Structure 1
Amino acid sequence: MGETRPVPGEAAALDGWLHSRRLVLLKTLLTRAERARLPAAASRAFRDHWALLEDAEHHDSAAARHALGYPAAGNWLAGALAAPPGDGFVAALAGLGTLAAAVATAAGCDFRTVLTTHDERLTLPGLGSLATPASRVRMEARGDTVTFVPEEGRPTSLPREGLRGPQTPPPWHPLNPLNPLGPLPGAPALLDDQDPHLAQETGRAGLAGLLPARVTAPEEAYEWRELWTRALDLLREADPERATEVATLVRAVVPVLWKPDGRASATRLAAPWAVLTTLPQTPEEMAEVLVHEVQHSKLAVLGGVVQLNSESAEAVYRVGWRSDPRPLGAVVQGTYAHLALADLWGRLARRASATPAERAAARRRAADYGAQVDHALFLLLGSGQLTRQGTEFVEGMRHRYQRLRSPAGLAAAGDAAASAGAQHTEAAGAHHTEGAVGRLTNRHFG
């Protein structure tokens, strides 16, 4: 994995590691709930929702596993485990109901349960949301039909498969698929602007200044789909293996806002395979964002399996893509992502359809990222903080970088381009690496 290139069996291994991590966190939540003095109603609801989750796993383990791996499930789990004792924890546990209902729906179970709404919406992660002023909704699934019955409201019945359909009428609001007919493997990625647990962290400290954004018009969703499709077309031309990796691993693209006219992207440790990003301006920017954040997701999952480095509060490092000091774990994350971008831009420069100007610009970008990686590898290997597995991992990165430095790789761009790119990075400010797109990603890994 250290070389950043997709390898056979890697996606399956990552899926298995993430699933194991989700099960461990769910078990931790169960233990905490059993030890807490929950009110009788909250205790009954928790037991019912837990049983529904178990039923879904028994009914169709593969479908349940896939639904449980959806990024929004990770956001809820992280929030629930961090909730303070008492009323805060009780309120957080209500999210198990919507997660269990989404997993059971995906697994094809017949069930009946009562769920709690949030901000006049009942949101099922990975599916969509029901707009309702009711505080509670009874949800029933029988065969191919799902029915929502709000308290003192009119029932809404939909085909089970129709929950994902783009033509579903209100009050149900499905998530927008980005590639419903895509030729690449993997489930269709979703444009997810409905995660209530992410929205709870909208403070400037919670998401490092990023604010979740809603897609309110059909033309906005169309613009996102066009960028997604054209970015994957670009990746297929330049790097088919990377295109397959992105299409296989990315489960959700989450629109966010930053400062006016600013562009940024991020990955959350708790929610791998979700790409949080402002709207890129070009397919090239979108391709870069997707490749960059997929690498962060891969390391987020890997970090639950092996420890790559030991952390020290006193050990901070300065890297080319940030002007503020970074802990070593963030340097590992940034080096890994920027190495993949150096590889990406080198391949974009070699596209048969690239114009001379595009080819020269891509080589400059590759050289810029390569110079940043070169310095970061020096810091990592000399830090004394890498574990045995971490040293092996970073040596893999160094091996890939040396291959990129061959005449067919970064060296063709020249030292002048690397210097110009480094100056451009420093001018970007303390929180972002500017270029095609800004970054807030590393803030979530430090």
Structure 2
Amino acid sequence: MSRHHRLSTVCFKELAHGGGGVSAIAELRAGQRSRLMLLLRALTDLASSHPRIPGPLPAPRAAWELLIEAERRSPPSVAHLLLHPQVGAWLSRCLRRLRGVAEEAGAEADEVPLWLETGYLHSVAASAALLAGIDFRIVVGVRDGGVMLPALGFVALAGCDSPVAEIVADGSGGRALRAGPHTVPLPSDLTRDAKGWHPLRRLHGRHPVHPCSPYLDDVDPYRDFLRPAGPARLSEPEARGWQEDFDSAWALVAGQSNVDPAGVADCLISVVPVRYPARTEPFSASSPEAYGCVLLNPPTDSATLAASLIHEAQHVKLGALLDLVPLMHGGMEEIHYAPWRVDPRPLRGLLHGVYAFLGVTAFWQAHRHAVLDETAPSADFEFALRRAQTSHGLRTLRTHAELTALGDRFLRGIEDRLAAWLTEPVPEVPLRAAEDLNLDHRLLYRLHHLSVDPGRTGQWAQAWRLGRSAPDTLPTTVLCASRTVVSARPALIRLRLRDPDGFALLQEKPEERPFDSADAPPRADLDWAAGDTAAALRGYRDRLAERPDDLSAWSGLALTLPAGPAKEALLDCPEVVLAVHRALRAPVYGGPDPVALAHWIGTRR
């Protein structure tokens, strides 16, 4: 008889309020284990009959049978392996290839032969057998100069040109990998380095009550679920740096009451160091396909890393919850403004963002009351910023999402948790900075993604040329997602609040670039972040005179103009001001003064 997973009312309520302790996470993990077993069986059946997998490996059924034997001996070992995030990432990716679904990676996916990608199953079976301590013999594929044993480590085969290797474990305790003339003995303790053997390291968040020890994965080909990658072993100093940063950040997570640190720890199985462009936010990512995996750029400071860990743990929880409980109908058909993203997001993405930033808001709310040093303004700012973003996302979901009954209960739990924080007083300087950046974000979104009716725009341009008043009715706009240009202002505000001395130095030497940026920050942005509104306004007007399509300068102009019709027009309909300005430009004449045009539009009846 088939059995269905059921989520207890207590656990659902915990999760709806942004929490989730050990028992709630255990229920989610049980669901994930069943899901992964079904995917694994589907992959085995599909690969066994697939016409495009001829290769030097044994039939997939041999790996499946070894997995069954390992589970008979040690069910916890196989469960541990199945829940290893990289196994989940591989399963989803490989099933898409077997079914012929196009991947975002395009040609990159085809660089790995299908037989070799499917053959990761044999490595999974070998890891399971090693963890279970049974005797076995299995042939596995060689990739990126060696063999990956998921959840264990990487066997390096320098100079090996064999496409396959054999792993053998016998009753005498001998375990080795053989590929052609190469033999690499596997150590009895697979957590320690040995010749040719690179075990998965662990990070250790040391805490007497709530420890956390995720893998630090730098070798598995599926560690980065966004794209496969060969092993990139961290040096010992680099690994020590990650350990120090993680330990400091975990102390902040474990030491507060707004989040359940034991639940967060159980959500963090694997941390993967990456280097992606940070854009406006410190980069981190997770995926429902890789339960418990977190991609992280090198951290900037302990508090930001702690917030990122909680942020991704929230995504992990919600992804697993949605596999068990439907919270909305549809949710992928239309896209909306997301106050934490530069691109529009589907409603399911908004739900994920709201839930993740509820956790982040919880962290900063507690952290800002715990710090009394010079970092307090930065913590106040992050709290004010994140609560406003979460609240905005909630309103969008309430307006547009078709929720199930459980989905409505889930959002009410989030609203109850957020309500008290929305009324909590915040000092004026960080509060104003958060409000300005949220406004800046909305303006840039509209300038990038809202397209104005060209026919009505032409009528407005004609009225300007004839010296008439602006038409009464604004042109209609449509959402037309496009590439975005990232503003330097959020990074500058964070630097000013976190490190005033560093910000002062940057004002003197903009070329120093103390944050991830290809260019020195514009002078107008520096002046704006420093509070010199008059200088910033002059700078933005100069930038628009030189580059009239500089969208960041248009938004900066709206932020720095004094109150009046011009400011009102740019805050109310920046995309219309921009569209009319573009319609009035000529090859020789660069267009009207942006402030004069905005004033004209702002005085319409």
Common fold: TM-score over 0.5: yes
Specify the alignment match of 2:198 in structure 1.
173
Q: CA RMSD in A?
A: 3.1
Query: Residue 8 of structure 1: CA displacement?
Result: 5.3
The equivalent of 1:105 in structure 2 is 130
Q: Which residue of 2 aligns with 1:419?
A: 435
Q: Which residue of 2 aligns with 1:150?
A: 178
Contact 2:223 2:272 in 1 (8 A): no
Which amino acid in the other structure matches residue 115 of structure 1?
A: V
Per mean C-alpha deviation after superposition, the further-off stretch among 43-52 and 176-185 is 176-185
Q: CA deviation at 1:26?
A: 1.2
Report the Cα distance in structure 1 between the residues aligned to 2:18 and 2:274, rounded to whole angstroms: 26
What amino acid is the match of 2:30? G
Equivalences for residues 261-272 of structure 1 within 5 A: 263-272=282-291
SS at match of 2:300: coil
Counterparts of 1:236 and 1:226, CA distance in 2: 15
Check the 8 A contact 2:334/2:346 in 1, yes or no. Answer: yes
Q: 1:424 to 1:217 in 2, by over 3 A?
A: farther
Shift of 1:423: 4.5
Count of residues paired in the alignment: 423
Partner of 2:190: 163
Residues 258 and 278, structure 1, Cα contact 8 Å, conserved in 2: yes
Higher relative contact order (CA 8 A, sep 6+): 1
Distance change >3 Å, CA 2–CA 35, structure 1 → 2:
same
Contact 1:144 1:159 in 2 (8 A): no
1:233 to 241, 244, 251: 251
* Residue 53 in structure 1 maps to residue 70 in structure 2: no
Residue of structure 2 equivalent to 1:10: 24
* Residue 418 of structure 1, CA deviation: 3.7
Choose which of 58, 67, 86 in structure 1 pairs with 2:81.
Answer: 67
The match for 1:79 is 93
Check if 1:119 corresponds to 2:139.
Answer: no
Please give the per-residue CA displacement for 1:86-138, whole angstroms capped at 9, x wherever unaligned: 99543332010111111222222222211111121100111110111232221
| Residue 274 of structure 1 pairs with residue 293 of structure 2 | yes
Letter of the 1:311 counterpart: G
Secondary structure of the residue aligned to 2:274 is strand
- From 397, 403, 408, give the equivalent of 1:380: 397
Map Cα deviations across residues 168-210 of structure 1 (whole Å, 9 max, x no partner): 22311111111187645677311101121356954xxx9xxxx
User: Which letter maps to 2:179?
Assistant: E
Q: Which region of structure 1 is more displaced relative to structure 2, 328-337 or 393-402?
A: 393-402
Matches within 5 A, 1:326-405: 326-351=345-370, 354-405=371-422
- Percentage of identical aligned residues: 27
Question: What does residue 283 of structure 1 align with?
Answer: 302
Q: Does structure 2 retain, via aligned residues, the 8 Å contact 1:324–1:431?
A: no
The residue that corresponds to 1:224 in the other structure is: 242
Partner in structure 2 of residue 138 of structure 1: 166
Judging changes above 3 Å, is the alpha-carbon distance between structure 1 residues 432 and 12 closer, same or farther for their aligned structure 2 residues?
farther
* Alignment check: 8 A CA contact 2:249 2:305 kept: yes
Structure-1 separation of matches of 2:393 and 2:278: 31
Structure ID, larger Rg: 2
Measured after TM superposition, the shift of residue 403 of structure 1 is 3.4
CA distance in 2, matches of 1:266, 1:432: 21
- Give, in angstroms, the shift of residue 143 of structure 1: 5.5
Query: Per-residue deviation at 1:250?
Result: 0.7
Q: CA deviation digits over 1:278-329, x for unaligned, max 9?
A: 1011111210111111111111211211222233565211021123211000
After TM superposition, the structure 1 stretch with the greater mean CA deviation from structure 2, 60-69 or 251-260, is: 251-260
- The residue that corresponds to 1:255 in the other structure is 273
SS in 1 for 2:348: helix
- 1:374-402 deviation per Cα after TM superposition (whole angstroms, max 9, x unaligned): 11111111214222222221111111111
| Partner Cα distance (2:308, 2:70) in 1 | 34
Is this contact kept in 2: 1:18–1:301, CA < 8 A?
yes
Distance 1:174 1:200 in 2: 20
The answer to whether the 8 Å contact 1:367/1:413 transfers is no
Q: Once structures 1 and 2 are overlaid, which stretch shifts more, 57-66 or 34-43? A: 34-43
Q: How high is the TM-score relative to the length of structure 1?
A: 0.85
CA distance in 2, matches of 1:180, 1:244: 12
Q: 1:432 to 1:176 in 2, by over 3 A?
A: farther
2:415 and 2:383 map into 1 onto residues whose CA distance is: 16
1:442 corresponds in structure 2 to: none
* Partner amino acid, structure 2, of 1:23: M
How many Å apart are 1:420 and its aligned residue? Answer: 3.5
SS of the counterpart of 2:219? Answer: coil
1:357 CA displacement: 3.2
**2:46–2:98 contact (8 Å) kept in structure 1:** no
Q: Which residue does 2:586 correspond to in 1?
A: none
Partner residue in 2 for 1:315: 334
Contact 2:165–2:180 (8 Å) recurs in 1: no
Contact 1:145/1:159, CA 8 A, preserved across alignment: no
Residue type of the alignment partner of 1:344: F
Distance 1:57 1:413, change over 3 A: farther
